[in-house]
Each structure stands twice: as C-alpha cells, then as structure tokens.
Amino acid sequence: MITFLLVIHGLIALGLVGVILLQRSEGGALGIGGGGGAGGLMTARGAANLLTRATTVLAALFIITSILLAVLAAGTNKSRVIDPTIAAKTAPVTAPAAPAPVLPAVPVAQ
C-alpha cells in the first residue's frame, strides 16, 4: 500500500512541477508556455484558468498523499526482530556477580 502511494505521490509531484513550469510568469521569462499566440487552442485567459485549476487540484492531491504516507509510515514504526533464529539462540546478557569482598587477615591469639 505504501509503495503504491509513493508511486502515485511521485507522479503527482512530477505533474505539479510540469504544470507550474507551463504557467506564464508575471515578471520574467521563466514560464515555458508563455506566449498565448492567436494560433493556439485556447486563449491566454482560458489557458491560465485551466493551469491554475490543475495546479490547485494537483497541490491538494499532493498534500493528501503526503498526509496518508505520514500516517501509514507512523503505523509501521514497531520494533521487529530481523532474524528470529539469532534472537532465540542468544541468551540475555546479565551483569557478572560481584566478587566477595576480601577481608584483611586477623592474627589469631594462642
């Protein structure tokens, strides 16, 4: 499920980058599809409306898939044993017993 959502998320991200690059820039010549010539399929205003709506939809889908991926990834954060056979073979490590204290020798009176 996570892999499928990651693929969809990547495609949405690529589409969002493409739609943003197609938009006409306000100040410079950064947009690729800038000149709305007379021979175009749409007018410049119609293309701007379509690209704005496409950007809005793709951005909303991008945010939704981001949240879904975060929720799904949080649910998989459980501790797991990589190889259960190794865990069964090893004994738990315990601290060694402390040695008995050595008392000084006391001379015995005879």
- pLDDT tens, 47-102? 678 889 999 999 999 999 999 999 998 877 667 677 777 766 665 667 677 777 77
Name the more confident of 108 and 1.
1
Instruction: Answer with the residue of higher pLDDT: 36 or 63.
Output: 63
- Residues listed for the chain: 110
Q: End-to-end CA distance of the chain, in Å?
A: 87
Give one DSSP letter per residue of 62-106, joined into a string. HHHHHHHHHHHHHHT-----S-HHHHHHSPPP-PPPPPPPPPPP-
pLDDT value at residue 1:
84
Task: Give the pLDDT mean for 2-28.
Answer: 89
Q: Residue for token digits 């399929």? A: 41
Residue 82 has a pLDDT of 75
What's the whole-number mean pLDDT along residues 12-21?
A: 95
